[in-house]
Amino acid sequence: MSTALDALDATAPWVRASADAPILSVSALSKSFGSLRVLSDIHFTVGRGETVCVLGPSGSGKSTLLRCINWLERPDSGRIAIDGQQIGISSGGVVMNDRELALMRTRTGMVFQHFALWPHLTVVQNVVEAPLHVQKRPRDEVYAEAEVLLERVGLAAKKDVFPARLSGGQKQRVGIARALAMKPALLLFDEPTSALDPELVGEVLAVMRDLARDGMTMVVVTHEMAFAREAATRIIFLDLGSIVETGAPEAFFSAPRSDRARQFLLRYAGTLSDVVRPGP
Amino acid sequence: MIHDFAVVWGERDLMLSGLANTVVLSVLAGLCALLLGALLSTVLMQKQRAVALGARVFVDVARCTPFLLFAYLIYYGLPSLGVRFDNWGAGLVALIVYHTAYMAEILRAAWVAQPREPIEAGLAFGYSGLRMFRRIVLPPLVLASAPVVGNQVIQIVKDSAFLTIIALPELTHAASSVQSRHYVPFAAFLTAVLLYWGICLVIESGVSAVGRMAEARR
């Protein structure tokens, strides 16, 4: 009996190591636009099922960081790996061509600030487009999954409508369903609620909260402090292109360690006065 | 006068075959010019300056050449370089090449005016190259530029009339034959004008069909 348990224990570290291997690992990432240094020496990892919220003032490099992860922005230096496989640079050390890059990008799903739905396609066509024509998956399966996804984001009834006929919140929920349809290892959200009317923010955050709870691995650039506090497993605070602070949301919001994080949170004091106390 | 139209009616087979040839020429030239223009527009949008510049020079030169001169050049000029077409070949090549330049410029202008985000989403979802162009870039372009493309197809129909000078038996050529055979210029040419108008009505109804599709997506 005990030997059997020992045997199990002996295998456990290996099993755990594989399950705990980060979905995303970013190391020594730097990026400049001309003489402007946008990101300098960024290091972080995201584990399976984590929801990492990237916070920081406007112009701190949050969106650029997100866009570097799938090489929509080409990093100047550093290494980005998804599921252990390096993005952008092939095994020979050469920069991937457009086709190889495109293939790598299918491993991440992306949700855009301005929705970026394809205007010539209906809601359901937006969702099935890339699974059918990029991933070349079987039509019946893809359509069946699209129905389930649209149900999940509450838009099954709108499946044959063109995006132009939807509200901002509905568009963004289609955007999320479209990203999920790729079965990505990682979902990237680039300020998904910033372009929405205030009364429409809630419906999008509700969908994102569900995804976080269901164990989807997500990196979310956002200004929604309440969402970050409640749904994130970890906060990354970015300022002037560097990670200033990273930690559990509770610790970050109630006791930020850095002055810059404290100042940043203070600017949201109107809504978070119960949370943030100015430092001595 | 009624008698003159009766004479034209008596030559209806000739007129109808002219009409059919004009339609065949215009449809073939319109489709090929749109297709080649779409491909050429991708070259005009290239980031490599030298490549884009080559396409730009062709587009500008073609657009600044009168079509009649262009047709002369291909039918009478090219044989001295050893390239010889019959009148159908020369007529079609002239129409296609000339209007490809216009189509490319029309689509390029619409492309520049498109929002960047859907194309960026295409990149993020794994599109690149021709698949990106065909699935993500081109459909909104065609919808947005349908009225201008339709206008250009009408221009193709009218330019096909010039091909009478290289003895291509299209509608204007047929009307010309009828009038010279029976000396009924007014009736023959007016009949041709009405038939051209009919072709344009068909094109316009096609354009408004595409326009309705675009409207549903706006």
Q: Count helices and strands (H / E) in chain B.
A: 10, 0
Instruction: Judge: B126–A119 Cβ closer than 8 Å, yes or no.
Output: no
Instruction: Judge: B217–A110 Cβ closer than 8 Å, yes or no.
Output: no
Instruction: Judge: B123–A102 Cβ closer than 8 Å, yes or no.
Output: yes
Shortest alpha-carbon distance between residue B218 and chain A (Å): 5
pLDDT for A19 equals 57
The number of domains in chain B is 1
At B141-196, the pLDDT tens digits run 999 999 999 999 999 999 999 999 998 999 999 999 999 999 999 999 999 999 99
Burial of B106 (C-beta count, 10 Å sphere; 0-12/13-18/19+): buried
Instruction: Judge: B121–A70 Cβ closer than 8 Å, yes or no.
Output: no
Nearest-CB residue to A129 (from B129, B135, B140):
B135
| DSSP label of B116 | S
Shortest alpha-carbon distance between residue A32 and chain B (Å): 20
Within 10 Å of residue B51's Cβ, how many Cβ atoms? 12
Is B125 near chain A, with CB under 8 Å?
A: yes
Nearest-CB residue to A162 (from B124, B139, B217):
B217
User: B171-182 and B12-44 helices cross at what angle (nearest 10)?
Assistant: 150
What phi and psi values does residue A186 have, to the nearest 5 degrees?
-150, 135
DSSP letters spanning B24-75: HHHHHHHHHHHHHHHHHHHHHT-SSHHHHHHHHHHHHHHHTS-HHHHHHIII
Shortest alpha-carbon distance between residue B127 and chain A (Å): 6
CATH number at residue B164: 1.10.3720.10
pLDDT for B47 equals 85
CA B15 to chain centroid, in Å, comes to 22
pLDDT for A93 equals 81
A112: tokens are: 């855009």
Is B216 near chain A, with CB under 8 Å?
A: yes
Residues of chain A positioned with their CB less than 8 A from the CB of B143: 120
A265: tokens are: 């949170």
pLDDT for B73 equals 93
Instruction: Judge: A117–B121 Cβ closer than 8 Å, yes or no.
Output: yes
Shortest alpha-carbon distance between residue A258 and chain B (Å): 34
Instruction: Judge: A116–B121 Cβ closer than 8 Å, yes or no.
Output: yes
Is A72 near chain B, with CB under 8 Å?
A: yes
Instruction: Judge: A105–B126 Cβ closer than 8 Å, yes or no.
Output: yes
Instruction: Judge: B124–A119 Cβ closer than 8 Å, yes or no.
Output: no
Residues of chain B positioned with their CB less than 8 A from the CB of A70: 124
CA distance A256 to A40: 22
Residues of chain B positioned with their CB less than 8 A from the CB of A135: 126
Predicted TM-score of the model (pTM):
0.84
Give, in degrees to the nearest 5, the angle at Cα A261 between A257 and A267: 135
What phi and psi values does residue A95 have, to the nearest 5 degrees?
-70, 135
Confidence category of residue B2, pLDDT binned at 50, 70, 90: confident
- Find where tokens 């079509």 sit: B67
Domain that holds residue B146: 2-217
Divide the 280 residues of chain A into consecutive groups of 10 and give the mean pLDDT of each group: 41 46 94 94 95 94 94 93 90 86 93 96 97 97 97 95 96 97 96 93 95 95 93 95 94 92 80 46
Does the pLDDT value for residue B81 go beyond 60?
yes
Contacts of B182 (CB under 8 A, 6+ apart): B7, B11, B188
Instruction: Judge: B121–A105 Cβ closer than 8 Å, yes or no.
Output: no
pLDDT for A4 equals 43
Residues of chain A positioned with their CB less than 8 A from the CB of B120: 72, 112, 116
Is A219 near chain B, with CB under 8 Å?
A: no
Nearest-CB residue to A98 (from B117, B120, B129):
B129
Region B69-77: what's the mean pLDDT? 93
CA distance A91 to A79: 12
Residue to mutate among A120, A166, A174, with most B CBs inside 10 A, is: A120
List the single residue in A with minimal CA-CA distance to B144.
A120
Instruction: Judge: B140–A72 Cβ closer than 8 Å, yes or no.
Output: no
At A93-148, the pLDDT tens digits run 888 888 899 989 999 999 999 999 999 999 999 999 999 999 999 999 999 999 99
Amino acid identity of residue B125, one-letter, is F
Residues of chain B positioned with their CB less than 8 A from the CB of A99: 128-129
Does the pLDDT value for residue B68 go beyond 50?
yes
A222: tokens are: 């956002």
Contacts of A76 (CB under 8 A, 6+ apart): A30, A31, A32
